[in-house]
A and B are shown apart, each in its own frame.
Chain A
Amino acid sequence: MSMIHKFRLHGINIVVDVNSGAVHVVDNEAFDILDYYKEKNQKHVIEILSSKYDKEKLKEAYTEIQNLENEGLLYSKDDYQYNPSFTNREHVVKALCLHVAHDCNLKCKYCFASQGNFNGDAKLMDIEIGKKALEFLVQNSGNRKNLEVDFFGGEPLMNWEVVKELVDYGNKIASEKGKRFRFTITTNGVLLDDEKIDYINKYMHNVVLSLDGRKEINDKMRPTLNDKGSYDLIVPKFQKLVDGRKDKYYYVRGTFTRENIDFSRDVLHFADLGFELNSVEPVVDSEDNPYALREEDLPKVFQEYEKLALEYANRKINGDKLTFFHFVIDLNQGPCVIKRLVGCGAGTEYLAITPEGDIYPCHQFVGNEDFKLGNLLTNNIDLDKVDQFRDLHVYSKDECKKCWAKFYCSGGCHANAYNFNKDLKKPYKLGCEMQKKRIECALMIQAKIMLEGDKND
């Protein structure tokens, strides 16, 4: 089925050819012709629009659309579903989310991990479980060379010696097999000190630093165990870490809630603090929580994304290095279509391991026994459950099949789908709507930068 998506944002008309990935910036004539192009012939289309536009210009625009269609850059067909690289993809594990601590030293109000213990007992992973997890990953990684481990929690710095020992052990067993680990750590920063900062900057391929933006926003949502704000404690440590990061990846990552729908101010606050690589994520929680987002909030949220996108584009045009995760889009060397179909890989190539050695599809499912896939110590894996996750992709979800954004979002978050709809194949609607808006903003930014470049040529 061929599909295009057209939208207008900040005065720019954009057309996405969903199945080829081509993106076009069009004038008003072409934009309006596309409303009728597939249903009516050229003569009829020109007749309809001739009261609004010059007939010769309409003919030109119509011909250009025809040419793009003939070149396969508009109304192209979707023929990926039975592509052998997709249907015959290998059963490999490539990445682990290693829960080295089911405990935390903050009590963030929106925490999906119930303040770090995932509704269980507080527990730290012992080194033997950690080693078994890394061995499991190497043994099940097939011919993959690049393997990933995210040290996660709770708060992973609460089990720091185990983290360091696992990095050493992982590098040892990977090199023996001609493979390589890329380590990431996700931390709230409370326990950071000079030794940890130096180690993280030397050995961690990526580091995710949790902070919610402005002090009053952060401190309301991310209090310490004795109910004090965490901003003043954490920000100087993050600044020191980021300063020593040089060219390595990091992300300062926040959560926005109903309390700060003006979240663009938090993104720009990050930039003011020197955190050029950043992101804020919409809170995901049920509507009975006062800070949860509701459908009625969407117009304001959309407006905020659009406002941020305009500021972001202008900063980029002026050479600013601000990088907002959700506005990053690589239109020329983006991921192959197979990667876009597979998505996050939760439950198949991406798994979460608890301190007890339990295996879950990802960190968001930890604690829900229905989704436990097995345990490292008993070496048993429920392959039926793995197959259930292997079958989660844009062609197995009715709403995704029809969606213009399917090759950008890859079908969304399985855990959100389950938590809101009790159905892994029914996406979380609020998440979809925000994702689509972010993609439109990201495309607009690229278009604005291109048009600005044309002006200067």
Chain B
Amino acid sequence: MKKHIKTLTSLKESASKGCGECQT
């Protein structure tokens, strides 16, 4: 349990998984 840091959110994964279907 971290006392000093809370992680709000934990891109490298997304680099491997660019389909191009999202809004432009």
A28-76 interface with B by 8 A CB criterion: 29-30, 57, 60-61, 64-65, 68, 71-73, 76
> Which listed residue (A26, A61, A72) contacts B12, Cβ 8 A?
A72
Q: Mark B1-24, 1 if CB is under 8 A from A, else 0.
A: 011111111111011111111111
Q: Which residue of B lies closest to A451 (CB)?
A: B6
Q: CB-CB < 8 A to B7: which residues of A?
A: 22-25, 68, 73
Main secondary structure of the interface of B (DSSP, over half): loop
Is A65's CB under 8 angstroms from B23's CB?
Answer: no
> Which listed residue (A65, A71, A407, A443) contacts B11, Cβ 8 A?
A407
State A80–B14 Cα separation when bound (angstroms): 10
> Which listed residue (B12, B17, B23) contacts A148, Cβ 8 A?
B23
Chain B interface (Cβ within 8 Å of chain A)? 2-12, 14-24
A306-340 interface with B by 8 A CB criterion: 331-332, 335-340
Q: CB-CB < 8 A to A148: which residues of B?
A: 23-24
A92 at the interface (CB under 8 A from B): yes
Question: Which segment, of A187-195, A344-352, A422-430, faces chain B?
Answer: A344-352
Q: CB-CB < 8 A to B9: which residues of A?
A: 21-23, 331-332
Q: CB-CB < 8 A to A22: which residues of B?
A: 7, 9-10
Is A144's CB under 8 angstroms from B3's CB?
Answer: no
Q: Which residue of A lies closest to B2 (CB)?
A: A64
Is A182's CB under 8 angstroms from B23's CB?
Answer: yes
Q: CB-CB < 8 A to A345: which residues of B?
A: 24
Q: Name, among A20, A76, A443, A446, the residue most crowded by chain B CB atoms within 10 Å (CB to CB).
A: A20
Q: CB-CB < 8 A to B6: which residues of A?
A: 24-26, 450-451, 454
A397 at the interface (CB under 8 A from B): no
Is A76's CB under 8 angstroms from B4's CB?
Answer: no
Shortest CB-to-CB span from A419 to chain B, Å, is 22
Q: CB-CB < 8 A to B19: which residues of A?
A: 336
Q: Which residue of A lies closest to B14 (CB)?
A: A336
State A79–B7 Cα separation when bound (angstroms): 23
Shortest CB-to-CB span from A20 to chain B, Å, is 6
Q: Which residue of B lies closest to A22 (CB)?
A: B10
State A332–B2 Cα separation when bound (angstroms): 20
Question: Which segment, of A81-89, A125-133, A238-246, A296-304, faces chain B?
Answer: A81-89
Q: Which residue of B lies closest to A349 (CB)?
A: B24
With A21-B11, A94-B24, A95-B24 already in contact, the answer to whether A57 and B4 are too (CB < 8 A) is yes
Shortest CB-to-CB span from B23 to chain A, Å, is 6
Q: Which residue of B lies closest to A141 (CB)?
A: B20
Shortest CB-to-CB span from B24 to chain A, Å, is 4
With A76-B12, A80-B15, A337-B14 already in contact, the answer to whether A30 and B5 are too (CB < 8 A) is yes
Shortest CB-to-CB span from B8 to chain A, Å, is 4
Shortest CB-to-CB span from A413 to chain B, Å, is 14
Q: Which residue of A lies closest to B24 (CB)?
A: A95
